[in-house]
Structure 1
């Protein structure tokens, strides 16, 4: 799947990550070939992996503070779901955050949760084949897996 095809499919979300919008995307994707479903999963994993950087992951959650009023850090899961929300917002937003970290900041809000986007490739595969998919992708999208994005975590 080309990046253009991936972003065209993401655009069908209109920036909205809900169970319903992601179900519609999974249904759309399931009408394509299995290689396209796999290609979507690969592009999605890569897009998330590229966002897996300390400059984004170290940002606090914008609308939460700790008991003493300190900034509330993103957990690994929150950071993953935040990255999904950025991807769901489309190519222009995704590209812009690399040049301006401040454009990533609003997505750390508790108003944004892109978790449902994670399940789209699996759901599409299941709809297309009738089988559950335990998929490996070239890029790991879990938080802190991009060693280049987190230089101090390198071993």
Structure 2
């Protein structure tokens, strides 16, 4: 799955009603991914980890606990490509997610659940980029412009 496919899937699965904790989004994503091949689930996990990794920067997470920061970054991803890319360009757009305690922890479990439904097994996944808070060393070295924080290659 490429980046465009990832964001299209997020868009296709976003419910029309408010979904503050991304629960309905996660259910729809899991259903869609579980209907396809394992390769699609792996691709989704890679793209999700890449998106979260790119938000793992000093200008977003200063003062947040690791879990709070991770779940808030997931909420930005759950908001869709437009909100995500705008937030990458303007870190001030991250503040409403923090202030409103908007979390989307459930989004992190979508690949695991879809994989389990396809294979009947647990997936001890490892992605190219860690989505764990504070793992993007470049992003925490100093506040940088978004285009300078991303690694030179991506999934």
Q: Please state how far the C-alpha of 1:45 moved relative to its aligned partner.
A: 0.3
Match of 1:145 in 2: 135
Larger-gyration structure (1/2): 1
Cα distance in 2, alignment partners of residues 117 and 98 from structure 1: 19
Q: When the two structures are aligned, how many residues end up with a matched partner? A: 138
Match of 2:5 in 1: 5
Q: 1:24 aligns with which of 5, 21, 28?
A: 28
Q: Which consecutive residues of structure 2, in runs of 5 or more, have no partner in the other structure?
A: 143-155
Cα distance in 2, alignment partners of residues 18 and 95 from structure 1: 18
Scaled by the length of structure 2, the TM-score of the pair is 0.84
The 3-state SS of whatever aligns with 1:47 is helix
Q: Which structure is higher in strand share?
A: 1
Q: Which structure is higher in helix share?
A: 2
Match runs of 1:30-109 below 5 Å: 30-58=34-62, 73-109=63-99
Match of 2:112 in 1: 122
Cα distance in 1, alignment partners of residues 77 and 10 from structure 2: 8
8 Å contact kept, 2:134–2:140 = yes
The Cα RMSD (Å) is: 1.5
Scaled by the length of structure 1, the TM-score of the pair is 0.84
Q: Please state how far the C-alpha of 1:24 moved relative to its aligned partner.
A: 2.1
